[in-house]
Amino acid sequence: MHKRLKLGMVGGGQGAFIGAVHRIAARIDDEFELVAGALSSKPEVAQQSAAQLGIAPDRAYADFKEMAKAEAARADGIDAVSVVTPNHMHFPVAKAFLEQGIHVVCDKPLTANLDEAKQLAEIGKASKVEFVLTHNYSGYPMVREARHLVQSGALGKLRRVNVEYAQDWLSEAITDPENKQASWRADPKQAGKGGAIADIGTHAMQLANFITLQTPEILAADLTSFVKGRLVDDDAHMMLRYASGAKGYLLATQVAPGNENNLRIQIYGEKAGLTWAQENPNQLWFAPLNAPKQLLTRGGHGTSAQTQGQIRVPPGHPEGYLEGFATIYRDAADLIRNGRCENCLLPTLEDGLLGMQFIEAAIQSSAHDSAWTRIGD
């Protein structure tokens, strides 16, 4: 008999964006049911939000620490918690639940600064429960197919990695105080000192790392705040060098009119190239050297058995952002139930730490006239 895992959530109350995404993602494959929450730090909002989501009043908490304790103490307590707060709360919330032996699914970036990230990585290592970071783009089937192609050697030795994440929603100063999204993300106290570099740059970096199975060794970055009065970068560009000899660039910009969520990656190896773009994620261009380009489709002809096994609807019926996100939850359920990570495709605490090191390196490089800077020192 199918039994759903019991899920709690911290953050994600009324007016929030990413909480709703996590809830749908957790629901799509029917592996989780949401039964508890500390959805807002404002008790009234927390209660109302919980009621709207069908959470029983006695499991609608105003305080995440209380929730962690209470749920750990219940016989029917939650198996896992989703952490969907602003960045600066990731650390204390994740810590509280990890310490209570409750699995954690946490939004990215891992924390608001590198120190917290290092601490959390230690806490995670010491813990017996799992920690999953929702770098959701790695849940797209064609991203996994791209990784498969690299891993299988179809591209040969890699030479160049170009990754861009371009948005336009921060092209102007956000003056509406009601825009909860924009306001916390632009506030270094809540988001950390990185702007675009943290919010979307980490996604781009993780995507590249995920597909290439490599991490750049050093970077030379140029971060900019184009919009007057903005306290964090809204445009981050850098050159990358890999230990393997590969080179690359990463661009994360939120001031590029005409771009909604234009996350795009190009990878070139000695034997082939590939291109994938998030806004039409069901396609992957594969270009073997000296042969015609192929347009691979999600689960379509020429894709791997692994990718074909991960799709929910047949080729030509597009899956989107929520399905990619749901795959992270589906895999997380598998990990939680079975204690193992099939093919290690789930983003981990180490990926989260790496992301924070990446942010730190980019900020340091940019502060030192774009000097080549090691990621991870």
CA 215 to chain centroid:
16
DSSP 170-211: TSS----TT-HHHHHHT-HHHH-S-SHIIIIIHHHHHHHHHH
Should residue 309 be labelled a site residue for its own copies when binding is judged by CB under 8 A? no
Number of residues that bind its own copies (CB under 8 A): 90
Report which DSSP code applies to 60: B
> CA 211, CA 146: separation in Å to the nearest integer?
6
Report which DSSP code applies to 252: E
Applying the rule CB under 8 A, the residues between 4 and 23 that interact with its own copies are 4, 17, 20-21, 23
Choice from 239, 306, 345, 364 touching its own copies (CB under 8 A): 239
At closest approach, how far in Å is the CB of 225 from its own copies? 11
Choice from 138, 206, 253, 327 touching its own copies (CB under 8 A): 253
How many Å from the N-terminal Cα to the C-terminal Cα in the chain? 49
Residue closer to its own copies (CB basis): 196 or 353: 196
Residue closer to its own copies (CB basis): 52 or 343: 52
Choice from 167, 206, 212, 373 touching its own copies (CB under 8 A): 167
Tell which residue, 366, 15, 11, has the closest CA to residue 182.
15
Largest CA distance in the chain: 65
Span from 8-16, 65-73, 188-196, 266-274 in contact with its own copies (CB under 8 A): 266-274
Helix (H, G, I), strand (E, B), or coil: what is residue 19? helix
At closest approach, how far in Å is the CB of 211 from its own copies? 15
At closest approach, how far in Å is the CB of 179 from its own copies? 12
Applying the rule CB under 8 A, the residues between 143 and 162 that interact with its own copies are 159-160, 162
Choice from 190, 261, 306, 308 touching its own copies (CB under 8 A): 261
Helix (H, G, I), strand (E, B), or coil: what is residue 121? helix
At closest approach, how far in Å is the CB of 127 from its own copies? 29
Q: Are the CB atoms for 139 and 324 separated by under 8 Å?
A: yes
At closest approach, how far in Å is the CB of 311 from its own copies? 11
Applying the rule CB under 8 A, the residues between 312 and 371 that interact with its own copies are 312-323, 369-370
